[in-house]
Amino acid sequence: MVLPLRTVCLQAIVRLPGTRCTFKRSLLTLSYYKGPSEPLLLEETVGSHLAGIASQHGDSIAVIARHQRKRLTYDQLHEQSSTLARGLLKAGVKKGDRVAVSLGNSIEFATLHYALFKIGAILVPLNPSFNVTQVAAALNHLGSTHLIISLEANLSRKPPRSTISILQTIVSSLRSSRGVESELVPTLKSIITVDNTSGRINASAYKAFTKFEDVFQDGVNNRTDLSNIRLVPDEVVNIQFTSGTTSTPKAACLTHRSILNNGKSIGDRMLLTHKDVVCCPPPLFHCFGSVLGYMACATHGSTIVFPSEAFDPLATLQTVQEEKCTALYGVPTMFSTELELLQNGAVPYEGFQHLRTGIAAGSSVPVELMKKLHKILNLTELTICYGMTETSPVSAQTTADDPLIKRLDSVGKLLPHVEGKIVSATDKTTILPIGQRGELAVSGYLVQKGYWNDPARSAEVMIKDERGKVWMHTGDEAEMDAEGYIKITGRLKDLIIRGGENIHPLEIENTLFAHPLIAEASVVGLKDSHYGEVVAAFIIPKSSTTPRITPVEVRQWIMKKLSGHLVPKYVFFVEKFPKTASGKIMKYVLREQGEKLVNEGMGME
């Protein structure tokens, strides 16, 4: 039964210490919360907003690409993105075209964002690690007309990989001057290449390509008035392939309005200003880099700094030191690697005094890691963001003013103009009382338009309530307290049911992470003939420690800290985890690996 919304909150009279003033504070009784109604939402396109920022902070540095030794002011970013937009028009890109972009963090990618947005083309970022099957599938699914790609893919901790073999499979003849003809991707009209090879590849041999710099030069010679292109804030301008932990990514359709306002709200909660310098190692091909990073900075006139094309922990720390960064972004595994470099003395512990804030997101942030980031990197105002690609992406975020326990133990409260509720996992119409775990659903401007050309899967997660309001059902298990703070307790599909008891992997993972000899840990459920499922722990030991932790010590640690049924039956030591582009661990892959190892008699030591 759905409880009436009039029972959602109680009001408490609270007296401010040392004053005679009182105010009313609403205490929730049901897990429903509505974010602030101010500031008002921006009702403009991304490109028009950049024009306004450039008029206010034109001389301020907008983008720095450390590895390229390049930087752009806001005036230059605005001017050069308009020039590139005109060049793209001449290259045949039109409003509504899906333009796939496979680039690392760079000046080119930063400029492309605004160039595509200004002409109403739809930016489709692709992970540079994609193989030819994934690239072709993405292009065909969206009917993409143009592909902008670097000649080399630079991936984290790997040598540069030529993309020529991928392009040779897609296009029948790269040396033909007739242009692009592809049986594999019939809609593809052109391939624009960015030469990031430092001379390792002779791009001039491939006549089918159009060089990025030639497109830009065409824009210099083209004086088309971009203002004649009619753009509407609610139009789809960005399609992001979800980097969820399932094996079937979906294409989420986001608008000017959703990504612009989401970036603005994120920056507001970080208290960003035009004086802030944000170090952003997360990728621009993911919402973390493009919205939490780029859009949050651009809406506040802040500087965003890309240390390298792909994540490099040494380059990241050096960037913070050299650019006197005030903010640092990362997923938990990024931060852990950086802290290990400092601990090992690979990077001198100096030059971090300017840091104050940043964002940790992408997956659950262990409390012990948060404490280390506060203490070691001076990230005392670090914020935690929660969201998903389908919600543009952030729906909840902590603030520097939140009580410390809430900043450590929750993902904060909902952003302005966002509503959220915790519903029963078995009856999505029932809002649960506060403190009870269920599925988090959110509503508001930030919800995607839907999955591209996939109404069935859109309808599965975008559900209208009795008032006709659309709610995005996240698939995340969460609970809400009486003040509206949200705590993510895991993925519903990751819940382990052992002998009828629900086990939440995150509780075990946080406990394992607190062990001084463990670098990373992930917990999954494996099939068991007696209990149905049992706990399996995958562990990456700290490389700098000798001797290494043993399976017996792992189980003893959990037994000491938690109850007996949470002790892992299986313990597996691994060198790395399979991860998505946003740093989430793909647990379905771990489960597959675990089942195989158990069949081989492993994990019971």
Q: With helix as H, strand as E and coil as C, how does 144-180 read?
A: CCEEEEECEECCCCCCCEECHHHHHHHCCCCCCCCCC
Give the mean pLDDT of 385-392: 96
Q: pLDDT digits over 575-585, tens only?
A: 999 988 777 78
Query: What digits encode the pLDDT tens for the residues 299-314?
Result: 999 999 999 999 999 9
pLDDT digits over 215-248, tens only? Answer: 999 999 998 999 999 999 999 999 999 865 455 6
Domain presence at residue 424:
no
Answer whether residue 66 shows pLDDT above 90: yes
Q: Which of 336-350, 353-367, 479-493, 552-566 has the lowest mean pLDDT?
A: 353-367
What pLDDT is recorded for position 368? 84
Mean pLDDT score, 392-417: 95
DSSP string, 10-39: EEEEEEPTTSS-EEEEEEESBSEEE----S
Are residues 190 and 310 located together in one domain of the fold? no
For residues 134 and 265, state if they share a domain: no
Banded model confidence at residue 506, pLDDT cuts 50, 70, 90? confident
Complete DSSP assignment for 182-237 = -SSSTT--EEEEE--STTSS-GGG-TT-EEHHHHHHHHHT----GGGS---TTSEE
- In the predicted structure, residue 336 carries a pLDDT above the cut 60: yes
Query: Whole domain around residue 521: which residue ranges?
Result: 495-599
pLDDT at 21 exceeding the cut of 80: no
- Give pLDDT, residue 70: 98
Query: Is residue 573 scored above 50 in pLDDT?
Result: yes
Choose the most confident range, by mean pLDDT, from 2-16, 56-70, 176-190, 515-529. 56-70
Spatial neighbors of 199 by CB under 8 A, at least 6 apart, are: none
* Residues 557, 458 share a domain: no
- Mean pLDDT within 137-160: 95
Output the CA–CA distances (angstroms, integers) from residue 60 to 77, 297, 302, 327, in the order listed.
11, 12, 8, 17
Q: Is 410 inside any structural domain?
A: yes
> Does residue 522 lie in a domain region?
yes
User: Do strands 161-162 and 152-153 pair parallel, antiparallel, or not at all (unpaired)?
Assistant: antiparallel
Helices within 345-480 (DSSP H only): 367-376, 404-409, 455-461
What pLDDT does residue 546 have?
Answer: 66
Q: Classify residue 46: in a domain, yes or no.
A: no
**Average pLDDT taken over every residue of the chain:** 91
pLDDT (tens digit, 9 = 90+) per residue, 162-181? 999 999 999 988 877 777 98
Identify which has the larger pLDDT, 17 or 74. Answer: 74
Q: CA triplet 182, 151, 248: central angle to 5 degrees?
A: 65
- 133, part of any domain: yes
Which of 50-54, 119-123, 202-206, 442-446 shows the lowest mean pLDDT across its residues? 202-206
- The reported pLDDT for the residue numbered 17 is 38
Answer yes or no: is pLDDT of 447 > 90: yes
Q: Are residues 399 and 501 in the same domain?
A: no
Q: Would the pLDDT of 24 be above 50?
A: no
Whole-number Cα distances in Å, 565 to 410, 510, 562, 568: 25, 16, 8, 8
On whether both 275 and 170 belong to a single domain, the answer is no
Closest CA relative to residue 397, chosen from 537, 252, 266: 266
Q: Can you give the pLDDT at residue 248?
A: 64
CATH for 558: 3.30.300.30
Do the domain assignments include residue 49? no
235 with 373, same domain?
Answer: no
Q: What is the pLDDT of residue 580?
A: 80
In this structure, the answer to whether residues 543 and 583 fall within a common structural domain is: yes
Q: Is residue 27 part of a domain?
A: no
Q: State residue 489's pLDDT score.
A: 87
Least confident segment among 322-326, 370-374, 452-456: 370-374
Q: Please give the DSSP secondary-structure letter assigned to residue 446.
A: T
In this predicted structure, what is the pLDDT of residue 563? Answer: 85
The pLDDT-based confidence of 157 (bands split at 50, 70, 90) is: confident
- Say which DSSP state 308 is in: S
Give yes or no: residues 64 and 200 share one domain. yes
The per-residue pLDDT for 415 is: 98
Q: Give the CATH number for residue 289.
A: 3.40.50.12780
Q: How many residues are given for the chain? A: 605
pLDDT at 1: 33
Q: Please check the confidence at residue 12 and state whether its pLDDT lies above 90.
A: no
> What is the pLDDT, as a whole number, of residue 260?
98
Tokens matching residue 272: 């960003």
323 and 465 co-located in one domain: yes
Residue 592 has pLDDT above 80, yes or no: yes
Residue 11 has pLDDT above 50, yes or no: no
Domain contains 227: yes
Residues 496/497/499/500 CA torsion (nearest 10 deg): 150
Same-domain status, 349 and 401: yes
Mean pLDDT over 8-16 rounds to: 42
Please count the structural domains in the chain.
3
Which residue(s) pair with 422 in the sheet?
440
pLDDT, residue 26, reads 64
Q: Which residue has the higher pLDDT, 24 or 364?
A: 364
Cα separation, 235 vs 152, whole angstroms: 32
- What is the rounded distance in angstroms from the CA atom of residue 411 to the CA atom of residue 488? 7
Same-domain status, 452 and 403: yes
267 and 188 in a common domain = no
The backbone torsions φ and ψ at residue 71, rounded to the nearest 5 degrees and listed phi first, read -150, 150
Q: What is the mean pLDDT of residues 485-491?
A: 91
Phi/psi of residue 179, nearest 5 degrees: 100, -160
| The one-letter amino acid at 176 | S
pLDDT of residue 243: 62
Mean pLDDT computed over 465-481 = 95
* Percentage of the chain modeled with pLDDT above 90: 78
